[in-house]
């Protein structure tokens, strides 16, 4: 009997790619798809998947919030996050929320099937690149004191605040953030104010500078020698 996989991804091309890879395997089959977290939560009970593939950057409810809701409604259902984000904080938060695996989209074509099988087998899956980054941080091998301090500070942010912070670092405007997250510009401003308070930042330009520094510091770390 083929294991049933549900896909939560807002890009049609990515969904098509996952579908082709998964349905091409004798032991796997796509049982449903959704563009938003809300749609996925409605469809999953009827689709009855054995595993869910989910992105983090979604309109409305983000992937981290989705995982938390899903684990409340269907405890134990495996979730494999396939995301464009390379930041180790997102991987850690996804796993803490209840995901069983984290994979970056650039590695999906070659790694998604082995990752699916590993999670279905009851094990966790984290890509080598993310694993090395997490291990480097755990070992204290962070490039600068400023970046190390920032990583600790960012742990204070909520999942949505971290998402808004990252968007600032990518040069996204308030209006674009509001549209992407399905919230009002006023709510974006509220999140920005809370971020400033938690990170002891005095101005928006300083917030942007810190966010850009974080984005740049989170580029893939070199692999550890084995």
Over residues 161-177, the pLDDT tens digits come to 888 888 888 888 888 88
Contact 27, 120 (CB under 8 A): no
The vertex-130 CA angle with 125 and 132, nearest 5°, equals 105
The closest of 97, 93, 130, 134 to 115, measured between CA atoms, is 130
pLDDT digits (tens, 9 = 90+) for 54-74: 988 777 778 888 999 999 999
79-83, 106-110, 125-129: which has the highest mean pLDDT? 79-83
Where along the chain do the CATH 1.10.10.10 domains lie? 142-217
The closest of 161, 179, 168 to 214, measured between CA atoms, is 168
In this predicted structure, the answer to whether residue 193 has a pLDDT above a threshold of 70 is yes
Q: How far is CA 111 from CA 21, 79, 117, 125, 137, in A?
A: 11, 15, 10, 10, 24
Pairwise pLDDT comparison (16 vs 169), residue with the higher score: 16
In this predicted structure, the answer to whether residue 219 has a pLDDT above a threshold of 70 is no
Statement: the pTM of the whole predicted model exceeds 0.75: no
The closest of 59, 62, 58, 95 to 79, measured between CA atoms, is 95
**Quick one: average pLDDT of 102-106?**
86
The CATH code that applies to domain 3-133 is 3.40.50.2300
Where along the chain do the CATH 3.40.50.2300 domains lie? 3-133
d(CA 22, CA 170): 32
- Position 218 confidence tier, pLDDT thresholds 50, 70, 90: low
- Position 226 confidence tier, pLDDT thresholds 50, 70, 90: very low
Q: Give the per-residue pLDDT at 222.
A: 37
Pairwise pLDDT comparison (118 vs 209), residue with the higher score: 118
The count of other CB atoms within 10 Å of the CB of residue 173 is 12
**Rounded CA Rg of the chain:** 18
The CATH code that applies to domain 142-217 is 1.10.10.10
The closest of 55, 5, 65 to 35, measured between CA atoms, is 55
Q: Give the per-residue pLDDT at 64.
A: 87
Pairwise pLDDT comparison (217 vs 208), residue with the higher score: 208
């Amino acid at each position: 009997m083929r294991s049933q996989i549900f896909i939560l991804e807002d890009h049609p091309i990515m969904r098509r790619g996952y579908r082709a890879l998964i349905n091409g395997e004798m032991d796997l089959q796509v049982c449903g798809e959704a563009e938003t977290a809300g749609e996925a939560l409605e469809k999953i009970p009827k689709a009855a998947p054995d595993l869910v593939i989910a992105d983090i950057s979604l309109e409305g409810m983000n992937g981290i919030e989705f995982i938390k809701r899903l684990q409340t409604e269907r405890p134990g259902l495996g979730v494999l996050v396939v995301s464009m984000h390379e930041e180790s904080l997102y991987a850690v938060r996804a796993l803490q929320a209840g995901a069983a695996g984290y994979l970056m989209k650039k590695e999906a074509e070659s790694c998604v099937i082995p990752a699916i099988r590993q999670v279905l087998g009851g094990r966790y899956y984290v890509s080598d690149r993310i694993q090395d980054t997490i291990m480097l941080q755990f070992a204290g091998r962070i490039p600068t004191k400023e970046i190390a301090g920032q990583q600790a500070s960012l742990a204070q942010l909520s999942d949505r605040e971290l998402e808004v912070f990252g968007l600032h670092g990518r040069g996204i405007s308030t209006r674009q953030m509001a549209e992407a997250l399905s919230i009002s510009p006023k709510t974006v401003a509220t999140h920005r104010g809370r971020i400033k308070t938690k990170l002891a930042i005095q101005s928006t330009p300083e917030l942007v500078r810190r966010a850009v520094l974080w984005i740049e510091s989170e580029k893939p770390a070199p692999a550890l020698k084995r």
